[in-house]
Copies of this chain bind each other. A is one copy, B any other.
Amino acid sequence: MPKITIGVMGPGASATEADLCHAYELGKLIAQEQWAILSGGLNLGVMAAVNEGAKSAGGFTIGILPGADRRGMSENIDLAIVTGMGSARNNINVLSSDVVIACGMSAGTASEVALALRAGKKVILLNETGDGNDFWQKLGAGDVAIASSPEQAISLTKAFLSHQFG
């Protein structure tokens, strides 16, 4: 049986310091739950931070890469999926995750939140500035929850998982 897989999405080059700290912490906490972490896999922004945090706690990390080879990959990826399809791979990110956590906000992250809702997935927004929280909650109805800390994101994830699997 596949492990529970939590997708962590967030800004690349435009990540804020808060996004990066949250992502590192999320990586650690998810690893401690024995869940796999799925991300866009690049050595950049939230992707880099979440995988570094995960590996600091012995987690298992999956990177769904946009390019046609492994260039630019985070060194903390255990399993690399090479898609060669650019941002269209964002749909694979969310389809392959049991729950999606958006840590920070950017155009790419917004596409992942939207595609996740389109696919009926549960989404947790952990977003210092709160940009778009109202918009996404209205759009996603009960499928979107707002977290104010990595710890709360984990609690909300557990609640969503227990609905799905429990």
Contacts and interface: CB of A to CB of B under 8 A. Distances in A.
Interface residues of A, number: 47
A14 to B, nearest CB: 10
B110 A81 contact: no
Assembly stoichiometry (copies): 4
A91 B88 contact: yes
A87 B2 CA distance: 22
B95 A68 contact: yes
Contact of A132 (B64, B81, B135): B135
A105 interface: yes
Contacts of A140: 107
A84 B80 contact: no
Given A107-B140, A114-B114, A131-B135, A84 B83 contact: no
B87 A92 contact: no
Contact of A106 (B68, B131, B139): B139
